[in-house]
Structure 1
Amino acid sequence: MNSLKGYRSGVAARLAGLPVETLRVWERRYGVSDAERSPQGQRLYSAAQVHRLGLLKRVVDQGHAIGTVARMEVEELAALAGIQLASGMRPLKLAVVGAALAQRLEANRTGTATAPALEITATCAQLEGAAEAIAGASADVLLIEAPEMTADAMPRIRALRQAVTAKAAVVLYRFCDSATVRRLREHGCLVARAPSDASEVAVLCNTALTGAALPPPGPSKPATPRRLNDEELAALAGASTSINCECPRHLADILMMLASFERYSAQCANRNATDAAMHEDLGRSAGHARMMMEDALERLAYAEGLPMPAR
């Protein structure tokens, strides 16, 4: 935050869980916010606007087109996402692990018109031994700061989440490898680089609570077997060179790549027990994408008069 009490685009995008490039496209094409500008011309977003951007991301992730939801109010977006907004701005209760983080938050406990006050219900100076030190504590958010986060911290974080009753968990770091970040997210934690401004922590905690309110994704159906093998796709790709439209060839290339990735994910699931569930999900996702593209190619082939293999 600066003297004008606003987040710059990069920070606002990060707090909302968006790539900054996506935010810029949404601004340019759909006018998703009316952010003010600094004297230097930079966009500045309030905490309320960041919260709305986070809701937009969630409903888009659920399958709604950004063009149809871009101008919706917060209440409409929350209802669409299946989230019940609190009618009052009560203090946000935190169980905090990290001495420096607790100090920063203690100095910034008062709320604003758009961000709740922070109430620290339990603290521990470091992650090691935290599960025993604050066992039984209750909070809205379990907030953990570990400047250098490694995979070795995973058992302690799991034990801590079992020992503390919290609706959501936020893990802040300064340095962390991508594999550990991925594993933390797979375990339901919101993971982010430690912000320099304590007011950003409240926004991250609100984002984590919003995510906790969403129902978990249901089991996806297995993909059907391939309709077209590589030889049949190659034949369709070759036939498309005799007409003006090259889309059949492009779709055939995409389908071969998706099928290859589907097989690759299955091999990863069998080879690596630790990541088996993740690679199984990747394989299912690739299979469903393949099914959609097979439908598209079949429609296009009939439209262009290309011979489809008999089934």
Structure 2
Amino acid sequence: MERTKTSVTGKTHGYRSGKAARLAGMPVTTLRIWERRYGIVAPPTTASGQRLYSEDDVRRLVRIKALVDRGYAIGSIARLDEQQLAELEASNGQRAMRARADDEPVVLGLAVVGDVLPERLAEYAGELGLQGLQVRASYPSIGDFEAARARGVKVDAQILLVEVPGLWDETVEQVLRMTHGGGFRAAAVIYPFGSNGAAASLHLAGVRVYRRPGNRTELRQLLSDMRRECERERAVSLGGERVRRRFDDRHLVSLSGSAAPIACECPRHIVDLILQLDAFETYSDSCANDSPADRVLHRLLGDIANHARHAFESALEQIAAGHGKPVPGGA
């Protein structure tokens, strides 16, 4: 199917190439190459030569990108029309369903906070199903969420979506309290306006930040992002609880000496690292934190130090056990 590029006349609304590429989940360079080599879309251009992609263009890009990710060659599907792409997508989905017939489908739960967002998600329930997501709980406000948690209400949700009227420093504090200890693997804040500093603080803490989705395409991209974020392996879990020291200083010295048959000094160096990481965790927690960004940064540094210390403690324990030495009790 040949696609002819036209020029924009009058007032036309559309996405520029960078935005269209982000919505489709691909680098803008890939989008340009696919256009030039395969003619997958032919967006009109403005008088200045700027491409403007329509909703239909973006939907086509998303569909083709998904099929390429599933193993189809771009050259074999680039010129298919929408009906042919839909049929190919449907047949691929049926094969995937048959392949998973004996497996329990993985559905991730959402905890949704906001007065409008739950209604929008209900309206686009089909999008949730396509992404393997399900709303498990909804709250009109952050206060309602916190009140439910105070009552001991537990929700089987892996993803937290929070819609706020504005994003400010106090919002950051509220959201971080919500993620802490909630068992969420991914979290996102949706807002219409706010400060760049508050957004940066949440980014630093591993919380995704989105402007309020203006249409179905943007909402679909948000949900797809959260699904991928939830499945991503994390070195430090979002808002996770820290692990206590397993060995006090006396036990560390004992473990270091118990690995004497090892010719190198690695056990002693591991003990030194454990002590230094423990000291750094304490130092980071006590640092002066004058802003939410500072508090987020130092909390993150402390979490990483805690995670690393725990990993080295496990390594030291394995070394001792490997040489038949008893492991002393924890701190």
Tell me the TM-score normalised to structure 2 length: 0.45
Tell me the TM-score normalised to structure 1 length: 0.48
Query: Which is richer in strand?
Result: 1
Greater RCO (CA < 8 Å, at least 6 residues apart): 2
- Which of the two has higher C-alpha Rg? 2
